[in-house]
Structure 1
Amino acid sequence: MDRIFGRRSSLLALGLLGLVVLGPLALVAPLAAALALTLAAALAALLSHRKAAALSLRCDKLSAELDVLSKRLIRLEAGAAASAAITPPAADAGLASGIEEVTVEIGLLSGIVRDLASVVAAQDGEIARIKAEPRALAPVPALAPLQVSAPAPALVQPAPPAAAPPRPEPEPTARPAPFAPRPIPPPPRPADTDGFPAPATSAPAAPTRGERAREEALVAAFDRDGLEVHLQPIVVLPQRKVVSYEALARLRVEGEVLAPEAFLPVLERYGRTTDLDRRMLQRVATIARHLAGRGSEAAVAYGLSPLSLFEPGFLRSLARLVAAEPGLAGRLVVALPQASWRNLDAEQAAALAALRGRIGFLLDRPTDLRFDALALAERGVAQVKVPADLLLRQAPGRGHLADIAVEDLVAALGRAGIRLVACAVEHEGDVPDLIDLDVPFAQGSVFAAPRAVRAEVLAAPPAPPEPPALPADEPEPPPQRRPFRDFLRRAS
């Protein structure tokens, strides 16, 4: 019946069937019909009771299962609360700080290994040069082998004792350094876009005695505070109003002022470029503080050496310098070459990202005009310095210098919030061409030559911290009455 009529219509069908059967029976035999109706009602009540009992059992079973599930859920919530109490969210911050410390230590170790490799390579070159000097200064005569045992002491340095007789050695220029990794030379830079020459890509020849004395004199002048700071203004076009300055390093040696291309390679060979950058940054901070005290809004930029980025702790010392003087925010600008911006490792990028907003960043010494404006803007670069020669007179044979036309370079950088500065402007006739290209800023001898900063400005002490301001709702303390004797004592 259920298959034919369905579960919901089976009772209706049974009722209709009972009426059809019991109706005629009631007319013929009323007692039999009443008895049959009673039996049908009893059967229906029995079936309903059985169904109600089955439903009650199912409800009890479902209630027990819900009870078990609720108990399990309570246990899970209690376990989650206990684990949250054992490992609070602060543990994640501690883990992150631990990972950061390990990353910093790995960076320090990599810098130490890099410096050790360069020192070992330099020492190997010195040993090869020392071994080559006796052969070049005192050649051994072919017919007098007995005179070789007593060389001139002023020309030949004593050789270390050896158990085996000496064997002829190959030329030092063809002998590679054993067990010493060769340092990878930095990428080439254009000659003097902001005072730094391009480093040599090949190993320099051994210096002579006069050159060595000259280098020692340069290093001694650097140690004796012969370093000077010259400022060259950056002007806005076409008004030629000064908006910022660039600090250039100069070295005074025996009354002669040398440009960086004369002394910077020597400092690089002696490993003193980081000392130069540290001293220059201290003086640039003093100059920026002096300009702020005079009410000037001009910033001061300084171009770092790429080797300083690999010095462990240099960028952290720069962060401490800026943190100690919050007034330098936006007034101190650090310039890095294009090759350094393209080859930053994870540690350097993180250190520069931590300085973003506290100091300004500038790209200089470009090798081409392929600027990724969006990537530079994400790193915080606000200015790009390009030599005027590279913008106006692109020499043939230098390849495609940019992916876009030079006329659209200013607009492309401006959309990313980066301003273009044309540097090394040496001819007055280049100024109208730069204005036609919509170059907003320029720098060069046409506008002003670099000038030395006065010694009293660099010797100025740091500005004292400002006293904390009183809250608005707190009244000023009333003036104190002092006895007349104190006034007389101060007057005397």
Structure 2
Amino acid sequence: MIFIGVCGAALGAAAYFALGFTPIEAGLLALVVVLGGVLIEERAARRRAFRRLETGVEEMGRLLATDARAGQVLSKRVNALADLEAGPRLDVVEADMSVLGTVVRQVAQAVSDLETAQAALAPPIPDTGDEPTVPQPPAIALEHVRRALDEGRLVHHARPVLTLPQRKVHAYELIARLELDGRLADPPEFMPVATAEGRVILRRIDLLGAHEAIRIARRARLAGEPVRLFLGLSVATLDDRPSLDQLLTLLAANRAVNTDIAFALEYRDWAALSRPETDALASLVQHGITLALRNATTLRLDFAALADKGVRTITTSARTFLRTPEALTDFHSSDINDYIKRFGVNLVVTGLEAESEILALLDDGVRIAQGPVLGATAPLRADLRDDGDDDLRRAATR
């Protein structure tokens, strides 16, 4: 429209100056030119609009035709379904499923009877000591243990936990040993049972172990080689408020290294924890400590709930895991490790005694293990044992 107006004005000016038209004649010429251009443009615009409308009508007609054909096909299918007699056919399917269910139950019963008969005929498997057993009274008298603690003859050695197949150190498990008559007594020989006097000794051993773990973790941090440590913890410490407060005070003063320490509880103790003992564990976790469950007799657990409570490691026996995995879990043995790891929990298989067992674990996807074939219990490096700070140990032996 602007172009038409400019052209009309230009023709009027040309007629006035070049052809000698009067101003009125030049103005009329310009007006006629503008009106003519407007009429021509309007006609062209209407033609374009009509063409677009015709195109839209044709497209709508095609869509309606497609919908009509789809409706016809749907109508034919509905009519075909209406002509079917579904009732008798469903009755036949239901009868087949009932027969199949009966057959499956009979097969399951037959397999169960066969397994029972085989178990009755099979010779009993000798106990190798890998499975957790009912605690027995220690061979060393409680008075000798108390005297050894008073004299500072409790030492802590390390048992490595390695990653497979590289066999790199994943963590160390601190093992308390007593120096008696020129030899070292392992925990089963002296660790007290949960009597009144025994619980007092257990609390002292727990506190000594906590001091030693913090000492080692601190020295490792200073050396630029932080290590992860597993340290046993008894229920006797959890249900005694003064001992728990002393442990919490120690952890609060060494919060920087608490993340390197995991307190390990026996699974049977964990399953029997009372509400106050559970709250005591929660207070330890709040200080940065993680938890580990030792000698788990089942992996049918709520791992999400365990992870929320601070559990990051679960150990189980290699003997059970490799020979009778169905006693631990309903998963296939090659899937259980990946399932547990989804919740941020590591599965550690302990008690490995042969290289063939390592290969079997690798086939099952287990990547963390412990046992004599991977490394025996031995003293720590000298630079991690001695840091010149004996105040912690003296305080713990009181």
TM-score by length of 1: 0.49
Q: CA deviation at 1:324?
A: 0.2
Q: Percent identity?
A: 32
Q: For 2:330, give the aligned amino acid.
A: D
Deviation at 1:462, TM superposition (A): 5.2
- 1:226·1:252 contact (CA, 8 Å) conserved in 2? yes
User: Quick check: 1:402 aligned with 2:348?
Assistant: no
Match of 1:298? Answer: 227
Q: Compute the displacement of 1:306 (Å).
A: 3.0
Q: How does 1:185-264 map to 2 (within 5 A)?
A: 198-200=134-136, 215-264=142-191
In the alignment, which of 194, 212, 215 is matched to residue 283 of structure 1? 212
1:30-429 paired onto structure 2 within 5 Å: 198-200=134-136, 215-265=142-192, 270-271=197-198, 272-356=201-285, 358-394=288-324, 400-429=327-356
* 1:310-351 CA-partner distances (Å, limit 9, x unpaired): 222333322221210122131111011222332332222223
1:242 shift after superposition: 0.8
Aligned amino acid, residue 362 of structure 1: A
Q: Is the 8 A contact 2:170 2:228 kept in 1?
A: yes
Give the residue type in structure 1 aligned to 2:379.
A
Distance in 2, matches of 1:263 and 1:442, equals 26
Q: Deviations over 1:100-129 (max 9, x none)?
A: xxxxxxxxxxxxxxxxxxxxxxxxxxxxxx
Shift in Å, 1:269: 6.8
Match of 2:363 in 1: 436
**Could you tell which deviates more after superposition, 349-358 or 373-382?**
349-358
**Counterparts of 1:366 and 1:407, CA distance in 2:** 18
Give CA-to-partner distance per residue, 1:146-170, whole Å, 9 cap, x none.
xxxxxxxxxxxxxxxxxxxxxxxxx
In structure 2, C-alpha distance between the alignment counterparts of 1:320 and 1:235, rounded to whole Å: 32
Structure 1 CA distance for aligned equivalents of residues 328 and 235 of structure 2: 23
Secondary structure of the residue aligned to 2:241 is coil
> Structure 2 vs 1, CA of residues 253 and 269 (structure 1 numbering), >3 Å: closer, same or farther?
farther
Q: Distance in 1 between matches of 2:321 and 2:368?
A: 13
* Separation (CA, whole Å) in 1 of partners of 2:284 and 2:267: 19
Q: Which runs of 5+ in 2 are unaligned?
A: 1-127, 391-398
Tell me by how many angstroms 1:281 deviates: 1.0
**What secondary structure, in the 3-state scheme, does the structure 2 residue paired with 1:297 have?**
coil
Q: Which has the higher helix share?
A: 2
Whether contact under 8 Å (1:197, 1:261) holds in the other structure is no
CA distance change for structure 1 residues 192 and 304 in 2, over 3 Å: closer, same or farther?
farther
Report deviation, 1:288.
1.0
**3-state SS, counterpart of residue 340 of structure 2:** helix
- Name the structure 2 match of 1:140: none
* C-alpha displacement of 1:215: 4.7
The answer (yes or no) to whether the contact 1:231–1:248 under 8 Å persists in 2 is: yes
Cα distance in structure 2, aligned partners of 1:240 and 1:429: 15
Q: Deviation at 1:460?
A: 1.8
2-side partners of 1:450 and 1:275: how far apart? 22
* CA spacing shift, 1:368–1:453, aligned 2, 3 Å: same
For the Cα contact (< 8 Å) 1:274–1:307, is it kept in 2? yes
CA contact (8 A) 1:328 1:359 kept: no
Q: Using the TM superposition, give the Cα deviation of residue 353 of structure 1 relative to its aligned residue in structure 2, in angstroms.
A: 2.1
Deviation at 1:191, TM superposition (A): 5.2
State whether residues 365 and 385 of structure 1, in contact with CA within 8 Å, keep that contact through their aligned partners in structure 2. Answer: yes
Q: 1:305 to 1:295 in 2, by over 3 A?
A: same
For residues 367-403 of structure 1, give each alpha carbon's deviation from its aligned partner in whole angstroms, at most 9, with x where no partner exists: 22322211211111111111211210229xxx84323
Contact 2:297 2:316 in 1 (8 A): no
Q: Greater CA deviation, 260-269 or 248-257? A: 260-269
**Is residue 273–residue 305 contact of structure 1 (8 Å, CA) maintained in 2?**
yes
More relative contact order, 1 or 2 (CA 8 Å, 6+ apart): 2
Q: Which amino acid aligns with 1:434?
A: L
| Alpha-carbon distance, 1:446 to partner | 1.1
Query: Any idea what SS the aligned residue of 2:355 has?
Result: coil
CA contact (8 A) 2:238 2:280 kept: no
Distance in 2 (CA, whole Å) between partners of 1:312 and 1:231 is 29
Q: What TM-score, normalized by structure 2, do the two folds share?
A: 0.59
Q: What corresponds to 1:158 in structure 2?
A: none
Assess if the C-alpha contact under 8 Å between 2:261 and 2:290 holds in 1.
Answer: yes
Residue 264 of structure 1: CA displacement? Answer: 0.8
1:32 match:
none
Give the match for residue 24 of structure 2.
Answer: none
Asked if the contact 2:235/2:277 (under 8 Å) is kept, the reply is: no
Q: Structure 1 267/374 Cα, relative in aligned 2: closer, same or farther at 3 Å?
A: closer
Query: Partners of 1:416 and 1:449 in 2: how far apart?
Result: 30
What is the one-letter code of the residue matched to 1:199? P
Q: Secondary structure at the match of 2:259?
A: coil
Residues in 2 aligned to 1:307 and 1:216: alpha-carbon distance in whole angstroms: 18
Distance 1:216 1:267, change over 3 A: farther
Partner in structure 1 of residue 375 of structure 2: 448
| Stretches of structure 1 lacking an aligned partner (at least 5 in a row) | 1-189, 464-492
1:268 is displaced (CA, Å) by 5.5
CA distance in 2 between partners of 1:411 and 1:459 (Å)? 39
- In structure 2, the CA distance between the partners of 1:440 and 1:309, relative to structure 1 (3 Å rule), is same
Q: Match of 2:338, SS?
A: helix
